[in-house]
Structure formats: C-alpha cells, structure tokens
Amino acid sequence: MRVMNEQMVVLVTGGSGMVGQAIKKVSEEENHPNEKWIFLSSKDADLRDPEETRAIMRKYNPTHVVHLAAMVGGVYKLIRLNCDFFTYNFRINDNVLDSCKELGVKKVVSCLSTCVFPDKTTYPIDETMIYNGPPHDSTLGYSYAKRMILVMNKAYKMQYGCNFTSVIPTNVYGPHDNFNLEDGQVLPGLIHKGYLAKHKNIPFTVYGSGTPRRQFMYSVDLAKLIMWSLREYEEIDPVILSVDEEDEVSIKEVAEMVSEAFDLQDGVHYDTSKTDGQLKKTASNAKLRKLLPDFKFTPLRQGIKETVDWLEANYENARV
C-alpha cells in the first residue's frame, strides 16, 4: 500500500479516450491533494516514435503511469488491419515501458483486454489461463501485442526491479467512447445505431445473430478499479477487472436495452450474413472479488441509459 502523504504525479497515456476521460472525472471528484493527474492524447506525442515518447515522459517526469494508449477497434477493423494492430501497439508499449524504466517511474499499470485469452478454452477464464493456446484469429495482432506487455512486465521486474503490472478489463462502454459504426466496438456501435434509428429513421440492425455473450463494464467503474490498482495492487501478474459471471449478457439482450433507452418503436433487426466473432469470453473476477469483495458495479441498463443520454447531448462532438 502506498504512503498516503507521498506525492504522486500520474501520467495517463491515451487520456483523451473513454477510459482516460472516466479516470479524469473520478480523479477530479476525489480531488486527492497528494495526487497530480496529467492526461495525454495522441496530439501530445506519437508514442510509436521512441524519441517523441522519451520527450513527453521527460517533460512531465511522472512518478506513476497509467498506460491506456493503443490502436483499438471493433472486430471488423481488427480483422482488416491485423498486422497494423500488432506492430503499432507493440511499438507503443515498448516505447512507454522503456521510457518509464529510464525515468525510474515507481509504478506502471497497463490496460490489456480479454482478447489475450485463448480462443479454445474452458470457461470461466482466469488470470492463469492466458498462455493455454492462441487467441481468436480475428484479434490475432492486437491480442499478441497485448500479451507481450505481460512478458515485458516480468522481464523488467527480473532485470531492473521495475514495478510494472497490468489489468484485464472485460468489454467497456460509456461516455467519450468511439461510436464509429465501422471501427467502434459492439456496444457503442449499437448505441450509435440506436441514435440513427431514432433521429434518422434508419432500421436498428445488429450485425450477426445476437447470440454471442459478453460481460460489459461501465467506464466509470473501470476508472475506479484502475485507480485502485495504481494505489493498492502490488502484484506484477495481472488482475481481471470484470463484472460477475452472472452479469454476462447476450448481444441480443444488450440491443434490446439500447432500443429501450432510445424508446425505439420498430424493434431490433439482425443481419445474420455478418460474422458473430468469438461467441463467448466469460471471465472470472474471483481474484478481484477476493481483493475488493464489496465493490459495486453500475447496473448495465443504467450505464447504457447514461451513455445514451451523453451521446444525445454530445453527438456533434462525439467520435462517430
């Protein structure tokens, strides 16, 4: 556990994205006097470039880093740009962790994804199962780039004594998400489609059958858990940040919640000519629950409604 009067200068890479903005919101609400939070965006530096990465890190000289920056996207973008997802993300991760080592950063928390887990596996998945097989082909490049963070964290600890760790969130959604229909992930894509159905009379159509199941977590909940991991979590091995297994829902159920939040009258249509992607990724949060047994997650229906309301109020400036 950190010393409470220790001054923390926390640099958040990818700070303009959904999770970064959620952390900013929570940090401003908490207003800890011994914490200074700095949020970077891609406009501040190209983290694929080692010199730009070193320069921005030296400029702010953080004591702690939350590493969120990544090339991200939904299943269709992942399939289309598999090689780019690997090379870009590996370069970003390598540059950030190397700069943190050079500056003597006290702790780094990197954000992974359940895509790192094997495609062929038993459920629920937990932190011990990551290397039990290859990930799903649709996420190959992104998944292996994220897996390499785990390797680097251990290697930096073994050789240099660095306190670099990681968290593995399940599907995240919320205000400031990427709602782009081509490149966004499933829930923000559904919310954007719901918006278009309400305001443009475009049929609310779900790609695939709606049968895949996912655990969705509100961005503000993830922000609180990442901040906890930065302050309190002391292991190098990762921890899954997820809602409980019984909170897993089908894409069909989520689509119906989105339709309800927009008060759509025409129902939900399914384009079964489109791929479903991975059908199941059920994750166990037993490790998290052992450490934080009383953490309360935002109910999915409530989080969707709050995200829908945010998009309605901010559509002109949202990532659509």
Q: Residues 60, 76, 88, 142: which is the catalytic one?
A: 142
- Secondary structure of residue 148 in the 3-state scheme: helix
**287 is written with which tokens?**
């490790």
Strand spans (E) along the chain: 8-13, 35-39, 64-67, 107-111, 164-169, 171-173, 205-207, 213-214, 216-218, 239-241, 249-250, 269-271
Does 142 qualify as catalytic in the annotation? yes
185 burial via Cβ count (<10 Å: 0-12, 13-18, 19+): buried
Distance from C-alpha of 277 to C-alpha of 264, rounded to nearest angstrom: 26
- Secondary structure of residue 11 in the 3-state scheme: strand
Distance from C-alpha of 215 to C-alpha of 250, rounded to nearest angstrom: 9
In the numeric block, the tokens 């702690």 are attached to 64
Q: Where is 71: in which H helix or E strand?
A: none
**282 is written with which tokens?**
């059920």
The single-letter code of the amino acid at 128 is T
| Angle at the Cα of 75 from the Cα atoms of 166 and 191, rounded to 5 degrees | 95
CB 228 within 8 A of CB 2: no
Residue 165: beta bridge partners? 109
Distance from C-alpha of 101 to C-alpha of 306, rounded to nearest angstrom: 39
Active site members: 142
